[in-house]
């Protein structure tokens, strides 16, 4: 639901891109099949990573076949030929669950009038959640609990950056373990998922920092430094200090995640994961950290 877990296309070989795109398109197809045609709009790169990880750990073939696009019949797309679609079905359920709870989070962060739109969307998302809950009840309970813990952590008076990131880190850790093919994988994914989830929470928090400060919503970085809208608009030393601190937190966290991931045997998919984790995440982090500074420079020209 965040869009930070992307490939770095300029450094990806064509054959690897075709494999990755096949996973993306197959996930789109399974979403439509299991949750209705409009659910395809929930398709994102974060959960494509999950489906790809399941295929890698379960040693599924990277073979693809060309068929008409389920969304645009005039276009040809690649689809995975694997008969075992459990990884895709599980990923679709995760997508539906996270979408529903993300809307609930948006409602909590919005005023009464603006929340009306989010409430309407949540009504349309409720049937998707019910389907996911019926197929994976343990997943529904897990996501609901972690989202409740996240809301409670952010409302705590002494909430720090670490305590704010903890529920999301635990959630991604649990979700990552669900795709494991062995106990060894599960132990590795527990650590990888924890730090990966922490990184996702932190980069999303920094990406939303300016908007959160403007709307007076909770943000762990703003709370730690007492950041104000004037600090961001005027590019004060405090704003630079926040950016430096966020970068250090993100670097430390992603390093721990990558150290754990290297213990996994991802077989023929290893080059794709290397591209995403070593290049794609770095590009996403640079963009998030430097975007505001670039905007300020453009305004001063």
Secondary structure (DSSP) of 216-237: T---HHHHHHT--HHHHHTT-H
Model pTM score: 0.91
> How far is C-alpha 75 from the chain's CA centre?
28
pLDDT at 51 over 90: yes
d(CA 216, CA 208): 11
Q: Residue 5: which of 139, 187, 172, 212 has the closest Cα? A: 172
d(CA 246, CA 261): 22
Distance spanning both ends of the chain, measured CA to CA: 35
- Confidence class for position 300, pLDDT limits 50, 70, 90: very low
For 238, the token pair is: 């405090």
User: How many CA atoms lie less than 13 Å away from 176 in the CB half-sphere?
Assistant: 27
What does the DSSP 8-state code read for residue 84? -
What pLDDT is recorded for position 193?
97
Torsion, CA 98, CA 289, CA 277, CA 164, rounded to 10: -40
d(CA 10, CA 298): 26
What pLDDT is recorded for position 72?
78
How many residues belong to the chain? 301
Using DSSP's 3-state secondary structure scheme, residue 35 falls into helix
What pLDDT is recorded for position 299?
47
What pLDDT is recorded for position 1?
55
Q: Residue 94: which of 202, 174, 205, 187 has the closest Cα? A: 174
pLDDT at 112 over 80: no
What is the average pLDDT score of the chain?
90
- Confidence class for position 295, pLDDT limits 50, 70, 90: low
Find residue 80's DSSP bridge partners: 64
Within 8 A by CB and 6+ apart from 206, the residues are 221, 243, 246, 250, 288, 289
What pLDDT is recorded for position 78?
87
Find residue 68's DSSP bridge partners: 76
What phi and psi, each to the nearest 5 degrees, are found at residue 179?
A: -95, 5
């Amino acid at each position: 639901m965040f869009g930070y877990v992307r490939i770095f296309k300029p450094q990806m070989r064509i054959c690897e891109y075709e494999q990755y795109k096949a996973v993306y398109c197959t996930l789109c197809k399974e979403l439509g099949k299991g949750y209705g045609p409009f659910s395809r709009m929930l398709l994102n790169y974060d959960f494509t990573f999950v489906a790809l990880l399941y295929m890698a750990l379960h040693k599924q073939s990277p073979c693809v076949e060309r068929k008409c696009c389920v969304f645009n019949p005039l276009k040809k797309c690649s689809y995975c030929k694997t008969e075992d679609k459990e990884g895709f079905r599980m990923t679709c359920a995760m997508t539906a669950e996270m979408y529903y709870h993300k809307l609930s989070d948006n409602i909590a962060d919005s005023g009464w009038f603006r929340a009306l739109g989010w409430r309407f969307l949540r009504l349309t998302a409720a049937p998707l959640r019910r389907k996911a809950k019926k197929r994976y009840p343990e997943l529904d309970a897990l996501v609901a609990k972690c989202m409740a813990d996240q809301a409670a952590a952010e409302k705590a008076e002494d909430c720090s950056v670490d305590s704010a990131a903890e529920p999301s880190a635990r959630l991604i850790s649990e979700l990552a373990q669900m795709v494991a093919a062995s106990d060894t994988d599960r132990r590795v994914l527990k650590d990888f998922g924890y730090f990966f989830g922490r990184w996702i929470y932190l980069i999303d928090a920094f990406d939303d920092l300016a908007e959160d400060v403007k709307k007076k919503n909770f943000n762990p970085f703003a709370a730690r430094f007492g950041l104000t809208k004037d600090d961001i608009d005027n590019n004060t030393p405090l704003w630079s200090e926040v950016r430096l601190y966020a970068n250090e937190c993100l670097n430390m966290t992603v390093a721990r995640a990558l150290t754990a991931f290297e213990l996994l045997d991802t077989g023929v998919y290893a080059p794709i994961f290397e591209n995403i984790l070593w290049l794609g995440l770095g590009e996403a982090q640079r963009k998030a950290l430097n975007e505001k500074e670039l905007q300020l420079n453009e305004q001063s020209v």
